[in-house]
Amino acid sequence: MFSKKANKIFTEAIHKYHEIGKVDQEFKNAYDQEEQLIEHLLYRKCWIDTVQWDYEDLIRDPEIDPVAALKLKRKIDASNQDRTDTVEYIDSYFLDKYKNVKPKTEATINTESPAWGIDRLSILNLKVYHMGKEATREDASEEHRLACQEKLAVLKEQRVDLSSAIDQLLKDIENGDKYMKTYKQMKMYNDEELNPVLRAKKK
């Protein structure tokens, strides 16, 4: 099943990142882009999410220097764009993979493309990782650990359900019961022609 491979790679990326645990550490993909394209993309996707998780923690520091916060906000924006681009690369992989499948007359479209489901699965793996840490944190109260253990159980159940749904979607596409249709995100706030603030700066 595809989800089994994805969850394994996500776990690899998360644990590799946390060997150092710094947002500015060097990134080295564990999978060759030419020989293992989808594995390469999955690893990169999860690494981006893992770095951004720490970005989001850092920017919520109530005592963060405003200049540093603005710099960090720019990094978060760039990370979001990188994440979106990588999701679209993953969808392109599936579009190519299933390009010769002829959808059945009664085939329907899904609420989201495979890659956006995979995007949620990557982030869900991060939630499982961090909630697992909280559930066993020695300096936390017993009440805190028990509460986190309950949340962790729910997250793991969600991961099973989402994994199953992704596998079913891919099977349906392969069988012609569903068809893929992707849309570029067309984010406007980074575009100098579409963001009125940026456009005004050009004049």
179 bridge partner residues: 109
Residue 203: pLDDT above 80? no
CA 182 to CA 95: how far, in whole Å? 9
Residue 186: pLDDT above 70? no
Residue 103: pLDDT above 80? yes
For residues 145 and 135, the answer to whether their CB atoms sit within 8 Å is yes
Region 46-55 average pLDDT? 98
Residue 197: pLDDT above 80? no
Cβ density class 131-159: b for 16+ within 10 Å, e for less: beeebeeeeeeeeeeeebeeebeebeeeb
Average confidence score pLDDT of the chain: 93
Residue 74: pLDDT above 80? yes
In this prediction, residue 126 has a pLDDT band, given cuts at 50, 70 and 90, of very high
39 bridge partner residues: none
For the stretch 10-34, pLDDT in tens is 999 999 999 999 999 999 999 999 9
Helices (H), the chain: 2-17, 37-59, 66-97, 114-135, 142-175, 196-202
For residues 31 and 40, the answer to whether their CB atoms sit within 8 Å is yes
State the Cα angle at 186 between 185 and 189, rounded to 5°: 115
Residue 188: pLDDT above 70? no
Residue 155: pLDDT above 90? yes
In this prediction, residue 181 has a pLDDT band, given cuts at 50, 70 and 90, of confident
SS3 195: coil
Region 123-137 average pLDDT? 97
